[in-house]
């Protein structure tokens, strides 16, 4: 296969560099709905629409702007998530992401393009700040879907991506605090006792539908903080961390990837929408399925999970929603009403959330 690496990198760099922000509207005021109560539709039949996890507010604004100027939906949302990947203050993705237990930042990402039915993904990628772009390169230039570890890094370098140290001083200090508290009798001195140790599962998922009904999805993450080296969550798993079907819509997730992988949550949400469910109904059903498939050690005596997951879904016609296990979640939306945060529907009220073990 003939690969024009220079052109690919020129296009990718332009997408990553042109991250100017549009104005952001005030957060939405829609309310979530507990189980058994009517859930308000997060609907906007005026396409295009872009949705994302709540850390994607700047990204959905950028993606919506690009789509409005004629950009491909996948190019637009990858440019949207690049904002977080390249932000060293965001410790959940890309540059500055929290490392594994050995202090190494390992990144995962996957993407899908509705019109061509193609997908690409990378896992346990080290030294490259924008795994979403590498995943897209896997999709665009190879006959494969998923590359992992050293092979993914070699591919990225051969494509012209630049290697850099992803562990910022801020994330390194958080790693040292975590490491020092593992064993009170080890040789590591505790420091900054007043600082809470972070156990991030942060990720960014973004989905888009254009004015003509084409859809795309992308998810990128640095994974679970302090994870075992080589641990891979749901983000690079097509059908779990994200999925799209151009005849139906797109979906994705953030949160505990191990729980989502077992139900192929993004694929399941799209399939429920294919059967005629509205996005919020589909996501609530997926959340119920996640809990039904959860082992007892992760549930309290009332069957409430100790963890949370956050799902996002966007139908081809412009309807959208997000759902969580517990009340209080939000997600980002950009449409003809501007870019804003809206509340997610939920299964359980916040007071039912059990204390973390």
Provide the token pair at 314: 């966007």
Give CA–CA dist 268/356, Å, rounded: 28
Q: pTM (2 decimals)? A: 0.85
Give CA–CA dist 63/218, Å, rounded: 12
Provide the token pair at 285: 């059903």
- On whether the CB atoms of residues 340 and 52 are closer than 8 A, the answer is no
* Cβ density class 227-256: b for 16+ within 10 Å, e for less: beeebbbbbbbbbbbbbbbbebbbbbbbbb
Give CA–CA dist 117/94, Å, rounded: 26
Q: How many CB atoms lie within 10 A of CB 94?
A: 28
Give CA–CA dist 315/153, Å, rounded: 34
Q: What is the mean pLDDT of the chain?
A: 87
Paired residues of 112 in beta bridges: 119, 217
Paired residues of 219 in beta bridges: 110, 205
Each residue's pLDDT expressed in tens, for the chain with a length of 357 residues: 444 555 555 555 555 544 433 333 333 333 344 443 433 434 446 799 999 999 999 999 999 999 999 999 999 999 999 999 999 998 889 999 999 999 999 999 999 999 999 999 999 999 999 999 999 999 999 999 999 999 999 999 999 999 999 999 999 998 988 888 776 666 666 665 545 555 555 699 999 999 999 999 999 999 999 999 999 999 999 999 999 999 999 999 999 999 999 999 999 999 999 999 999 999 999 999 999 999 999 999 999 999 989 999 999 999 999 999 999 999 999 999 999 999 999 999 999 999 876
What are the residue numbers of the active site? 203
Q: Could you give the domains of the chain? A: 45-346 (3.60.20.30)
With the C-alpha atoms ordered 7, 8, 11, 13, is the resulting torsion angle positive or negative? negative
């Amino acid at each position: 296969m003939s690969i024009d690496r220079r052109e690919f990198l020129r296009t990718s760099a332009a997408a990553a560099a042109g991250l100017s922000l549009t104005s952001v509207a005030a957060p939405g005021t829609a309310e979530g709905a507990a189980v058994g109560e009517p859930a308000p539709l997060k609907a906007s039949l005026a396409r295009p629409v872009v949705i994302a996890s709540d850390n994607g507010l700047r990204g959905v604004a950028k993606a919506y702007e690009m789509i409005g100027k004629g950009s491909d939906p996948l190019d637009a949302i990858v440019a949207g998530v690049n904002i977080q990947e390249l932000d060293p203050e965001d410790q959940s993705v890309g540059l500055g992401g929290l490392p594994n237990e050995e202090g190494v930042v390992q990144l995962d990402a996957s993407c899908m393009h509705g019109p061509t039915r193609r997908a690409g993904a990378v896992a346990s990628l080290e030294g490259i700040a924008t795994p979403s772009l590498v995943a897209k390169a896997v999709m665009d230039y190879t006959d494969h879907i998923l590359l992992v570890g050293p092979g993914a890094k070699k591919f990225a370098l051969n494509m012209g991506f630049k290697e850099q140290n992803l562990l910022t001083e801020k994330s390194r200090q958080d790693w040292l605090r975590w490491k020092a508290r593992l064993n009170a009798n080890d040789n590591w001195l505790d420091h900054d006792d007043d600082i809470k140790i972070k156990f991030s599962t942060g990720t960014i998922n973004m989905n888009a539908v254009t004015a003509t009904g084409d859809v795309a999805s992308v998810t990128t993450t640095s994974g679970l903080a302090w994870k075992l080296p080589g641990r891979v969550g749901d983000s690079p798993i097509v059908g779990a961390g994200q999925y799209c079907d151009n005849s139906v819509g797109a979906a994705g997730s953030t949160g505990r990837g191990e729980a989502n992988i077992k139900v192929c949550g993004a694929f399941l949400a799209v399939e429920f929408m294919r059967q005629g469910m509205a996005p919020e109904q589909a996501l609530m059903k997926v959340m119920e399925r996640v809990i039904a498939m959860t082992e007892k050690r992760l549930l309290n005596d009332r069957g409430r999970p100790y963890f949370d997951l956050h799902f996002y879904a966007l139908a081809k016609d412009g309807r959208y929603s997000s759902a969580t296990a517990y009340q209080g979640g939000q997600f980002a939306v950009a449409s003809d009403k501007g870019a804003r945060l809206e509340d997610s529907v939920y299964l359980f009220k916040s007071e039912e959330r059990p204390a973390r073990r």
